[in-house]
Chain A
Amino acid sequence: MQSVFASLPGFLYATWLTIEIAVLVILLSWGFGLVAALGKRSRIAILRVPCDLYIWFVRGTPAMIQIFAVYFGLPQFGISMSPFVAGVITLSLNSGAYVAEIIRGGLMAIPKGQYESPIALGLSHAQSFRRIILPQVARIILPAITNEAVATLKNTSLLSVITVVELTFHAQIVIAKTFQPFQFYILAALIYLLLTTLLTRASALLEARNAVRS
């Protein structure tokens, strides 16, 4: 037990790195997801086809292979990135494909009249989308997007395979020193559980607030 307490500062640091990666990846995945969702809805083929291919490819292949391909594969073509950068980009693109489908579903759930009424009042398409459509989509997709964020948070553990010293990799390092796999895997698991719990709680609070404001 003593070794567990002694290792806490190190775990704290690794946890912080996990949080950093997760926050970056989640925010970036919303950006990729929004662009891909809009692209997939476009009538213009040059926009639609690449977005379609992106979602199709990313959802159809394992995240682990994607991470290997970017981190170990791209240097063959002279594109080298630090493990952190490669990991964040790959996970963002990965999660973005799922987010795109979530957003697309949200967009489809908005009644046609909500698209038309701001336009009829003279708002531009961009203004209508940002001020009228997007806030409503955000409410609809909150549960699904929280789910995806939780999955993303846990997926950061995949970056241990490319030497990012996040929570999982840090646990493995400590275990290699102490030969106490049970304690430290449980500790890592509990930290992940704490983080995902915070995330779902925050989402539940937002949902409750939205229920009042409508």
Chain B
Amino acid sequence: MQPLLQVRNLRKSYGSLEVLHGISIDIAPGEVVAIIGASGSGKSTFLRCLNLLETPTSGELCFDGKPVEYGEEGWGWRREKQLQWLRSQIGMVFQSFNLWPHKTVIENIIEAPMIVKNVPRYEAVAEAEDLLRRIGLAEKRDAFPSRLSGGQQQRVAIIRSLAMKPKLMLFDEVTSSLDPQLVGEVLNLMASLAAEGMTMLAVTHEMSFARSVSTRTIFFDGGVIAEEGPSHVVLNHPRQARTQRFLSRTLPVIGPAVTVAEIQSGQARVAQDLSAGA
């Protein structure tokens, strides 16, 4: 199968400091990839290069079979058009939610489909309401983001991205700024997306997510991919010494806010819904 995303020898420098030393990877459609690693290892920068929030210094990007000509950082109408095309197909969810405080929940969701894809308002609203129902927040339709809990805000941020019907979703530490008891609802939503076949790349500190939802885990260290492979292999039987060191430091500290069983039951529920033809 043709990979959805191909990355070849991606490098990123800030001044004389290179933070990504040539990353190459293929992501197949439907893959759920967890990206783990210590802070400063370049994993967030890598994710932000994929939708060109950061402009790579060099390297090739190919999305959906088309090479991305990201060019030089700066202005240019043609460059912006190309990047808009790319970004309208790659959703991104941030650690800090970034809902727009001056717009209601529904306005947040319909903004991009209406403005970027020229979807008629009634259609965008209907789709947004469907998405809200799905995450159980239909009654928050006209609330402003400040009235929502962190977990609710993050779930709205996720469906705001989904409203663009992206082919790939990027998650940048989306549970890191949540209270522990709110992490589960967000992870469950991500698990249900994974179960539906959404292609996902998630920078995460949630080992439970990496373990039970992701099909592949990539370990970043010092700006390179130090180890990658099927999640159960990388997380349970890491080959590299530095992966072992990282995992041994990480695992014991985890007080699992969401258990593997919870995520799996979430997945099972969604799978049932799907097979029921919902």
Interface residues of A (CB under 8 A from B): 111, 113-114, 116-125, 127, 131-132, 135-136, 139, 213-214
Interface residues of B (CB under 8 A from A): 51, 53, 80, 84-85, 87-88, 90-92, 94, 96-102, 111-112, 115-117, 144, 146, 157, 160-161, 164
Whether A113 contacts B144 by the Cβ 8 Å rule is no
Whether B53 contacts A119 by the Cβ 8 Å rule is yes
Complex CA–CA separation, A113 to B87 (angstroms) = 16
Q: Which residues of A contact B88 (CB under 8 A)?
A: 121-122
Q: Which residues of B contact A111 (CB under 8 A)?
A: 96, 98
Whether A131 contacts B111 by the Cβ 8 Å rule is yes
Please count the residue pairs between chain A and chain B whose beta carbons lie under 8 angstroms apart in the complex: 70
B interface, over-half SS = mixed
Whether A119 contacts B87 by the Cβ 8 Å rule is yes
Q: Which residues of B contact A135 (CB under 8 A)?
A: 102
Whether B146 contacts A114 by the Cβ 8 Å rule is no
Determine how close the nearest CB of chain B comes to the CB of A104; give it in whole angstroms: 20
CB<8 Å pairs between A and B, sample of 25:
A111-B96, A111-B98, A113-B97, A114-B100, A117-B94, A117-B100, A119-B53, A120-B91, A120-B161, A121-B88, A121-B91, A121-B111, A121-B112, A121-B164, A122-B85, A122-B88, A122-B116, A122-B164, A123-B111, A131-B111, A131-B115, A136-B100, A136-B102, A213-B102, A213-B144
A interface, over-half SS = helix
A-B pairs, top 10 by smallest CB distance, nearest first, are A122-B88, A117-B98, A113-B98, A121-B112, A122-B116, A120-B92, A122-B87, A113-B96, A122-B84, A135-B102
Whether A123 contacts B115 by the Cβ 8 Å rule is yes
Q: Which residues of A contact B87 (CB under 8 A)?
A: 119-122
Whether A120 contacts B101 by the Cβ 8 Å rule is no
Q: Which residues of B contact A127 (CB under 8 A)?
A: 115
Complex CA–CA separation, A125 to B116 (angstroms) = 12
Complex CA–CA separation, A116 to B48 (angstroms) = 10
